[in-house]
Amino acid sequence: MIHGYSVEMRQIVKRFGTTIANDRVDFSAKAGEIHALLGENGAGKSTIMSMLSGVYRADEGEIYIRGKRARIRSPKDAAAFGIGMVFQSFRLVQSLTAPENIVLGESTPIWRGSKWIKEKRQEIVSIAERFGLTFPVDRPVWQLSVGEQQRIEIVKTLYRGADIIILDEPTSVLTPGETEQLFLTLERMKREGKTVIMTTHKMNEVMTVSDRISVMRKGRMIATTETAATNERELAQLMVGREVSLNRQFRNPSQGKPLLIVDGLEVYAEHGRKALDNLSLCVNEGEIVGVAGVAGNGQKELAEVLTGLRTWKSGTVRFNGKTLTSASVRGSIESGISHVPENRMKSGLAGGLGVADNLLMKSYRDKDRSVFGFLRTGKNRAWSQSLVEQFDVKTPNLDTPVRQLSGGNQQKLLFAREIAQKPKLMVAVHPTQGLDVGAAESVRRMLTELRNSGSSVLLISEDLDEVLQLSDRVVVIYNGKIFGESGPDQANRQRIGMLMAGVCELRGTHHEPANFV
């Protein structure tokens, strides 16, 4: 049952130097509701929630909690008003157990086996059971999955008395099954009269779980609406200020010949851990093959093998009719394999270099780009400018350091460089991660156009909606093996989600850790 407003933020202004992050924003949320806050990256939604949780202080405006004026100048102040925030990057000590993390900071000393920690453990278990949040209670955090760590963070806010709970992109690291479980938990919180505020980019999830939706754009609150009174297309248009395509891109698999054939691949990662276990995979010419799976199941190592960044112990890799015998980045590039890595600023772009220099990184040896070892500066700048215009990269000039560009423009720049190589195969890892709906649409359009031009794409993503929207075939990786495959007629969220969670279709078995609370 929905009651009165538990949160009211009136005419909030926040400046960072000359940049106005929040421009007289009004926001309110009710007790007993799930309220979704949408907006592109840089729209100001994280800033407004950071002020509610005490991370930032408002320059102007007023905050009311349960009808009373509140001065929130620190996370401690926010906690005193019953406000808790679960950040996308968890705040957990990896070597401690869940109870030890949750009571960390309390004045009573902590030691295993003490009467005090046993009492606290039971209190934490009771909260977890009450809200359907299960995790191995006595294991150190580093042994737990990302979904289990998120549950610990939520229990921590509940243990500390929060009845206004802010969740920052809560489903970005979860399987579909874990997402459904989280939504059940949010519904329980709602029934108990708690306020849940959720920031997210995922339209279908907003429509599934929220009661009301607020949309921000360019630091301003654009609209607040009942969820039942809107739809995904309208929300996307409110977010970006224009029509956005959300259509699924499935088509019949290509009849082209096999381009990439991986057979029996065995790869060891750090500390001797087997990352890929007898993995076999085929990608045909002119198709997008989506690789779905929860992080840590071998996707990273597969991408590194194909792009020359990691060697393998056994198995064969054939590309375009030739057998690859060793790891070579330059060899992969010259063979026609492009790479959009998971972390664009760590391994894709050089943040301190300008736009033009980043575009030249893979082609400076080409005869069109240099002669006798000397760069053709004028010709290269004209070429760079043409790519910037073609891929709609917003940059002050070609010499602007790429770290000063927005995430969406960095990603478009990375795609411009890789597509300019005219690749036979694009290995794209989480290509829209952290991007807003407008930038994500641009990236997905580029992948589709690349496929339509006859190139192939291996799309590795934890975003199941993205995989289903773009892929001609979907394979699921689990524990370093291909655990299942679906064509256009069989691929759906339920089937792919079960495979991602390790549920075998034939045996109906589920690989899952024991000793849950």
> What is the tens place of the pLDDT at every residue in 396-425?
999 999 988 877 789 889 999 999 999 999
Judge if 177 and 122 occupy the same domain: yes
Judge if 210 and 260 occupy the same domain: no
Residue 341 included in any domain: no
Indicate the angle between helix axes 176-191 and 146-159, nearest 10 degrees: 10
The percent of residues above 70 in pLDDT, for the chain, comes to 90
Residue 342 included in any domain: no
Judge if 234 and 264 occupy the same domain: no
User: Over 70: is that where the pLDDT of 497 sits?
Assistant: yes
Q: What is the pLDDT of residues 136-166, one digit of tens each?
A: 888 888 888 778 888 999 999 999 999 999 9
What CA–CA distances, in Å, run from 53 to 25, 84, 88, 165?
Answer: 16, 7, 14, 9
pTM: 0.65
Judge if 414 and 427 occupy the same domain: no
Judge if 295 and 400 occupy the same domain: no
262 vs 499 pLDDT, higher one? 262
Judge if 197 and 322 occupy the same domain: no
Q: Report, as an integer, the average pLDDT of 481-491.
A: 78
pLDDT, position 175: 67
Question: What is the span of the domain harbouring residue 510?
Answer: 249-336+423-517
Residue 129 included in any domain: yes
pLDDT, position 245: 56
pLDDT, position 360: 94
pLDDT, position 48: 92
Mean residue pLDDT of the chain comes to: 85
Separation CA 400–CA 111 (nearest Å):
53
CB 442 within 8 A of CB 412: yes
Q: Which residue type occupies 55?
A: V
pLDDT confidence of 110, banded at 50, 70, 90? low
Judge if 439 and 390 occupy the same domain: no
Q: Report, as an integer, the average pLDDT of 297-325.
A: 91
Tell me whether strands 5-16 and 60-65 are parallel, antiparallel or unpaired.
Answer: antiparallel
Domain boundary among 393, 420, 447: 420
Judge if 324 and 359 occupy the same domain: no
155 vs 201 pLDDT, higher one? 155
Residue 153 included in any domain: yes
Residue 343 included in any domain: no
pLDDT confidence of 248, banded at 50, 70, 90? low
Separation CA 434–CA 345 (nearest Å):
12
Domain boundary among 208, 240, 272: 240
pLDDT, position 249: 53
Residue 212 included in any domain: yes
Closest CA to 367 of 376, 358, 359: 376
| Least reliable range by pLDDT among 25-39, 122-136, 478-492 | 478-492
pLDDT, position 506: 43
User: Over 80: is that where the pLDDT of 258 sits?
Assistant: yes
Separation CA 471–CA 121 (nearest Å):
45
Place of tokens 């005419």: 11
Judge if 71 and 133 occupy the same domain: yes
Separation CA 59–CA 425 (nearest Å):
50
Residue 274 included in any domain: yes
Q: What is the pLDDT of residues 15-67, one digit of tens each?
A: 988 878 899 999 999 999 999 998 876 678 888 999 999 999 999 999 999 99
User: Over 50: is that where the pLDDT of 509 sits?
Assistant: no
Tell me whether strands 33-39 and 212-217 are parallel, antiparallel or unpaired.
Answer: parallel
Residue 344 included in any domain: no
CB 376 within 8 A of CB 364: no
Q: Beta-carbon neighbour count of residue 63 at 10 Å?
A: 21
User: Over 90: is that where the pLDDT of 177 sits?
Assistant: no
pLDDT, position 263: 95
Judge if 227 and 92 occupy the same domain: yes
Domain boundary among 240, 261, 288: 240
Q: What is the pLDDT of residues 367-384, one digit of tens each?
A: 889 998 899 999 999 999
Q: Report, as an integer, the average pLDDT of 199-227.
A: 89
Evaluated on CA atoms 46, 47, 49, 54, the torsion sign reads positive
pLDDT confidence of 352, banded at 50, 70, 90? very high
The percent of residues above 90 in pLDDT, for the chain, comes to 47
Separation CA 28–CA 503 (nearest Å):
41
pLDDT confidence of 1, banded at 50, 70, 90? very low
Number of domains comprising the chain: 3
Q: Report, as an integer, the average pLDDT of 431-449.
A: 81
Judge if 207 and 129 occupy the same domain: yes
User: Over 50: is that where the pLDDT of 514 sits?
Assistant: no
Residue 90 belongs to domain with CATH number: 3.40.50.300
What CA–CA distances, in Å, run from 42 to 56, 149, 342, 406, 432?
Answer: 16, 27, 21, 9, 15
Judge if 131 and 34 occupy the same domain: yes
User: Over 50: is that where the pLDDT of 83 sits?
Assistant: yes
pLDDT, position 504: 60
